[in-house]
Amino acid sequence: MSKNIITATDDNFQKEVIESDLPVLVDFWAPWCRPCRMIAPTVEELANEYVGKLKVAKLNTDENMDSAINYGIRSIPTLGIFRDGKMVDAVIGAVPKKALKAKLDQYLVNVTVN
């Protein structure tokens, strides 16, 4: 996994995602999920391309059910986009990188990095 991706858990979700100064892309996934494995390389590429503009986290829903339940995750992979402490959008399924970038770019406008 890329050094630019953090592992989100029920224990650190508040600090790493909700309290983040940057928008956060959370990949809700599970090891048995084939589409999750298909989109993983795209998530890694985005983590590397958006350094300083976007935080990228992966949350294993099998091990962290509370966070998944709290955000209504019913299908995986779900790529949740969080900004200012709220989930503002989500992409469900293994979508093409171009489509995911277009969705992310909507939420990265006016992002200031300290």
Contact call for residues 93 and 105 (beta carbons, < 8 A): no
- How far is residue 56 CA from its own chain's centroid? 5
Integer Cα distance of 22 and 25 in angstroms: 10
From CA 110, how far away is CA 54, in angstroms rounded?
Answer: 12
Q: Which of 22, 36, 81, 87 is catalytic?
A: 36
Q: Is 36 a catalytic residue?
A: yes
The residue annotated as part of the active site, out of 22, 33, 73, 76, is 33
Task: In whole angstroms, give the CA distance from residue 58 to residue 1.
Answer: 10
Catalytic residues: 33, 36
